[in-house]
Structure 1
Amino acid sequence: MSHSHGVPAAPADPRTRRILAAVLIPAAIATLVAMALLWPGRVHLDTAASSGERVNGTVTAITGATATVRLDGGAETTVDLPSGPGAPTLKSGDAIVLLHLPGAVPGGQDYTVVDHQRATPLVWLLVAMVLSVLAFGRRLGLTALVGLAVSFAVLLLFVIPAILAGEAPLLVAVVGAAAIMFAALYLTHGVNVHTSVAIAGTLASLVITGLLGAGFTAALHLTGVAGDEDAFLAATRSGLDMRGLLLAGIVIGALGVLDDVTVTQAATVAELAEHGNRGRRDIYRAASRIGRAHVASAVNTLVLAYAGASLPLLLLLATGSSPVSQVLTGELLGQEILRSAVGTIGLVASVPITTALAVLVIKNRSGGPRSSPPARSPRHSRT
C-alpha cells in the first residue's frame, strides 16, 4: 500500500512506473545482500592497558595551579590545572572528565583533566531540535526524525565498523549510502512513485559523484593522508585504505545535499502535473528553472559547508609563507577542492536527471495546454 507524506501523488504513467520498479527493486535487494555480506558484526578494538580509565568528577575548589575534585564515587583528589592550546578552563562547580593513570608520571598526580562533561547540555540541545522539528513538521517531521535515526544507525552500526574491520571503504560507503537513501527517503516522503524517482535520481548522481571522485583522486595522485588525523589513523590502522576512505567521505557527504535536490525536483514536477494543464516539455522546462535556482543556492551551501569544516586549515594556510600555487595544489587543500568540485558536479547533474525521470513518470499529455471543455449553453444547463 502506497502513501504520501510530502511528495504530491500526481498521476503516474503505468509503463514508466513498471520500468522504475524494475530498476529500484533489484537495487534495493542488492543493497540488502551487500550489507549482509559486508556486515562486520562486533568489531574488537585493541586498547592498551596504559590508556587509563575515564572518571567523572566535579571541581570543588581551585588553589593556585591545582584543583580539588570530588569524584562520582565520593572520594576527593587533587589535580593539576590543564594548560596549553585547547586546554579546558576550570572553575568551581564544573563537571569534568578525568583520566586515571596512577604512577604514569613519577611524583605526579594520579588523575589528569581531559575535558568537560557535556552530556546534559547536549541532551537538552537535541530535545530542543526534536521539539522544533515536530512542532513545525508534525507527521512529516516525525518521519524525518525516524529517517535521521536510521541514517545514524547505518553509519554507526555498519559503515564505521565495516571500514574498521578491513572492508573497502568506498564499497562500504556506496552500500551504506544506498541503504540510507532508500530508508530515509521512503520513511520521510512516503512509498510512492515520485519518491522512487527522487531515489533513482539520487542513485544516478551518486554513481557520477563516485566515478568522478575515483578518477580525479587517481589523476591528482592523492593518497588520502593530508592532516595529522589522517596520518595517525594510517599509522594505527595499517590495513586501512586511506584513498578509499577519502572517496567514502565524498560519497556520504554528497548524499545529504543530493536527496534534498532530487526530492524537490520530483515534488515540483508532481505538483506541476497535478495542478497545471501543461505538457511534458513545458513541465520539464518549468521544473528545470526551479532546479537551477535551487542548485545555485545549494552549490554555495555545499562549498560553504566544506569551507566551514576546514576553517582552521584555511587560516593555517593563509598565515603560512608558501606561495599560493603551492598551497592550492598541495595534498591538504587538494582534498578539499576535490570534495567541493566533485560534490558540485554531482549536484548539478542531479537536476536534469531527476527532472527528466519525474517527467517520464507522469501520465502522457500533449505538448501544449489541454483545451477546456466547451461551456454549456444556459438552456441546456441543469438546475
Structure 2
Amino acid sequence: MGSGHSHSSSTGHSEPTTQAVAARRRANRILAAVLIPLTLLTLAGMALLWPSGSKEGITLANPYSAAPGVTFDTGKIQSVVVESCMQGSAAGPSSGSGDQQQGQGQQGTDCTFAFTEPDRGGSPVKVVINPDVAKSHGVKPGDQIRYLNLSQAAGASASQGSPAYIFVDFVRTLPIVLLALLYAAVVIAVARWRGLRALIGLVGAYFVLASFMLPGLVEGKPPLLLALVGATVIMIGVLYFAHGFSARTSTALLGTIFGLAITALLAAWATDAANLAGVGSHDAATLVNTSANISISGVILCGLIISGLGVLNDVTITQSSAVWELYELAPGSSARKLFTSAMRIGRDHIASTVYTIAFAYAGAALPILIIVMLYDRPLADALTSAELSEEVIRTLVGSIGLVLAIPVTTLIAVLVVKATGIKTAEPASDGLRAGDSSVDPDDVGDTGTLAAAAASSRSTHQTYENSDTPASRRGRRADRG
C-alpha cells in the first residue's frame, strides 16, 4: 500500500496541472507579444543598415605589405648575442639608413642579434632585435619569431650599412591555441552542453561584430543605430542559443534590452557632452586619415555600448535565475517579498560587478595610468584628460546601465514567475509545479529523481505516522520528546 501511495505521489507531482499549463502559456504569449515584434524590428533595421562592403576612398597602407623582393619569414631562435651594431651589417645588405647605423657603430653602440633557423629551411640567419623589445622583454633560444628578409630586395647590393634580417614580432600561435583549447575544455567540462552552446554563440557574436558593425562604421552608418541593432541581435542570439527558449531567458532578454537602451542613451549624451574625439589615440589618428566617412566619435560611441554587453548579460540572466530559484524554494511568497529577496541578491551583484568593470578597464589602460602618474598631474586633471576620460566614461556609462537593469529584470521576472505558478492546497505540489515551469532540459533526469525521492520520503513518513503498533507509538513518543 505504501508503494502504491509513493507511485501516485510521484506521478501526481511531476506533471503540471491544467491551470499551471494555461498560466504558463498566457505568460509566454505576453512575452512573445513584446519580444517578437522587437526582434522583427531589429532584423529589419539590420537589413537596412547592412554595409555594402565597399572600401572605395579608403587609403590605408598595410604595414605587412612588402616591397618587391622583401618577404616576411618565420624561424626559431638558436642563440642570442650582444655585439657591436657594425658587426650586424656583415650579415647582409639593406635598403636605407646605412650611414646612420655606421655612425652608431663608430660610437660603440651594441645591438642584440638572434641567430635564427628559418622555418622554410636553410642556414641560420642573423636577425637584429629591436632595442625596445630587447630592453623590455628580450628574446631567448627557442622563441619563434617573424622577421623581415631584405636579402633579396631590389637594389640591396648597393647598400651595406644595415642588417638584412630585422625582427618584426613574436609568433604566438601555439600559446594562444593552447589557451583557447584549455578555455573551451574548462567551460564544457563545468557547464556541459550549455557551455558548448555559449562558445558557439560567442563565435556568432563576433561574426555580427566583424561583418555588420565594423564595416558599417567604416562606411559612415549612424553609429547609435548601428550599435543598438547589432548589440540587440547579439544578445537575442546568445541568450536563446545558450540558455534555451523559456520564460526565464525571455525575462533576462527584456532586462538586457532595457539596460542596453539606457547605456546607449547615456553613451550618446556623454560622447557629445564630454567631447570625446579620440585625439589622444594613435589608432584614432590613423583612422581619421584613412577615410572621410569614419567618425571617431561614432567609433567611441559604439565602443561604449559594446563594452558593457558581457556584464549586462551576466547580471540579467543571473537575476532572472535567482527569482526562479527563490520562488521554487518558497512558492507561497508574495510578489513583494519575492522582489525584496531577489533584490538583496541583486545588490550584492551590483557591488561586485561595479568592481569588475572598473578593474577591467583599469587593467586595460595600465600603461596610460603609469604615464599619467609620472606626469605628476592633479587627480582631477588626470581623470578628465584626453588619455583617461574615455575609460572613465566607459566605466560610468556601463555601470549605470547594468545597475538599472537589475531592478527592472527582477520586477519582470517576479511578474512572470507569479503568473506561471499556480498555488494549491499542498505546498510541496505547488513548489514542484513552480519548479517545473522553469526546468532546465539538462537537469530533467535530476529533477525526476529528486521528485521521486521526495514522494517516497513522504509516503514512508505517512506510513510511519499512520501505523498503530506499540513499537510505532513508542517511536513517535520518542521523536516528539
Q: 1:290 to 1:88 in 2, by over 3 A?
A: closer
Aligned to 1:299: 354
Aligned to 1:350: 405
1:29, 1:304 → 2: CA distance? 37
Aligned to 2:247: 193
Are positions 1:70 and 2:125 aligned together?
A: no
Aligned to 2:146: 97
3-state SS in 2 of match to 1:272? helix
CA shift digits 1:169-195 (9 cap, x unpaired) = 333222221111011111111111110
Query: Do 1:55 and 1:98's aligned partners in 2 also have CA atoms closer than 8 Å?
Result: yes
Are positions 1:273 and 2:327 aligned together?
A: yes
Q: What is the deviation of 1:89?
A: 2.4
The amino acid across from 2:47 in the alignment is: A
The amino acid across from 2:278 in the alignment is: G
2:119, 2:60 → 1: CA distance? 24
Find the partner of 2:77 among 46, 59, 76. Answer: 59
The amino acid across from 1:325 in the alignment is: A
The amino acid across from 2:33 in the alignment is: A
Aligned to 2:368: 313
3-state SS in 2 of match to 1:274? helix
Aligned to 1:4: none
Higher mean C-alpha displacement, 289-298 vs 138-147: 138-147
Higher mean C-alpha displacement, 83-92 vs 348-357: 83-92
Are positions 1:137 and 2:187 aligned together?
A: no
1:241, 1:156 → 2: CA distance? 18
Find the partner of 1:254 among 298, 302, 308. Answer: 308
Q: What is the deviation of 1:225?
A: 2.9
Are positions 1:17 and 2:28 aligned together?
A: yes
Segments of structure 2 that go 5 or more residues without pairing to the other structure are 1-19, 84-111, 428-461, 468-481
Q: What is the deviation of 1:333?
A: 1.8
3-state SS in 1 of match to 2:77? strand
Q: 1:104 to 1:120 in 2, by over 3 A?
A: farther
Are positions 1:325 and 2:373 aligned together?
A: no
Are positions 1:227 and 2:313 aligned together?
A: no
The amino acid across from 1:155 in the alignment is: L
1:252, 1:349 → 2: CA distance? 17
Aligned to 1:5: none
The amino acid across from 1:203 in the alignment is: I
1:322, 1:88 → 2: CA distance? 29
Query: Do 1:269 and 1:287's aligned partners in 2 also have CA atoms closer than 8 Å?
Result: yes
User: Over the residues paired in the alignment, what is the CA RMSD in angstroms?
Assistant: 2.9
CA shift digits 1:102-132 (9 cap, x unpaired) = 3699432343211111101111111111111
Describe how 1:199-218 pairs up with structure 2 within 5 A. Answer: 199-218=253-272
Are positions 1:150 and 2:204 aligned together?
A: yes
Structure with more of its chain in helix, by fraction = 2
2:72, 2:208 → 1: CA distance? 28
Find the partner of 1:82 among 123, 130, 137. Answer: 130
Aligned to 2:225: 171
TM-score by length of 2: 0.69
Structure with higher Rg: it is: 2
Higher mean C-alpha displacement, 77-86 vs 180-189: 77-86
1:329, 1:30 → 2: CA distance? 38
Segments of structure 1 that go 5 or more residues without pairing to the other structure are 1-9
3-state SS in 1 of match to 2:115? strand
3-state SS in 1 of match to 2:132? coil
The amino acid across from 2:141 in the alignment is: S
Aligned to 1:3: none
3-state SS in 2 of match to 1:54? strand
Q: What is the deviation of 1:354?
A: 0.4
2:231, 2:62 → 1: CA distance? 36
Query: Do 2:383 and 2:389's aligned partners in 1 also have CA atoms closer than 8 Å?
Result: yes
Q: What is the deviation of 1:217?
A: 2.0
Query: Do 1:273 and 1:362's aligned partners in 2 also have CA atoms closer than 8 Å?
Result: yes
2:235, 2:180 → 1: CA distance? 23
TM-score by length of 1: 0.86
Aligned to 1:35: 46
The amino acid across from 1:284 in the alignment is: F
Query: Do 1:154 and 1:180's aligned partners in 2 also have CA atoms closer than 8 Å?
Result: yes
1:233, 1:22 → 2: CA distance? 43
3-state SS in 1 of match to 2:245? coil
Higher mean C-alpha displacement, 156-165 vs 114-123: 156-165
3-state SS in 2 of match to 1:79? strand
1:372, 1:32 → 2: CA distance? 46
1:365, 1:351 → 2: CA distance? 21
Query: Do 1:279 and 1:365's aligned partners in 2 also have CA atoms closer than 8 Å?
Result: no
3-state SS in 2 of match to 1:67? strand
The amino acid across from 2:215 in the alignment is: P
Q: What is the deviation of 1:275?
A: 3.2
3-state SS in 2 of match to 1:84? helix
The amino acid across from 2:387 in the alignment is: L
1:88, 1:300 → 2: CA distance? 30
